Amino acid sequence: MNCNCEILHRGTNLTTDGVLTVTNSNNIANFDDFVMILCLNPNNIITGAPVAYTVTINGNAVPIWDKWGYPIQTDRLCPRKRYWGKYITGTGVTPHVSLMNVCCTVRDALSVSAVATTETTGD
């Protein structure tokens, strides 16, 4: 399987304020694909209440949002899972990374898992 390394961004550092450092963070254009994998466990760094993620793109700090436009907090992304979306910027738009395959909350993620288990087992 070939990998387009230009769109793959590995999360390699996270501050307690939720600032995520990713690889390949320069020369990203509007509507460019953005595939991200966390190479760290956010729970080891953010020990208090979850905070909203921010990532530096082209030298500017931008928020990471879900597909509905809500900020993604540090309790919603898991290490070693591939998240995909787009970098969005332009006139009248707040620059941001929009990830499409993030569950609403950890509770929702557990509910989806429980539903999938029930559907496959028939219980």
Summarize pLDDT for 60-118 with one digit per residue, the tens: 999 999 998 999 999 999 999 999 999 999 999 999 999 999 876 555 555 544 444 44
Q: Which residues have CB under 8 Å from 123's CB, separation 6+?
A: 117
Domain assignment present for 2: no
**Tokens for 87?**
């970098």
Domain assignment present for 53: yes
For the chain, the C-alpha Rg in angstroms (whole number) is 15
Domain assignment present for 14: yes
22-67 pLDDT, tens digit per residue, is 999 999 999 999 999 999 999 999 999 999 999 999 999 999 999 9
Domain assignment present for 75: yes
Residue with tokens 């309790």: 75
Q: Which domain holds residue 95?
A: 8-121
- 100 half-sphere exposure, CB direction, 13 A CA radius: 8
CA distance 116 to 77: 19
CA distance 36 to 44: 19
Query: pTM of the entire structure?
Result: 0.79
Q: What's the pLDDT at 103?
A: 75
Structural domains of the chain, count: 1
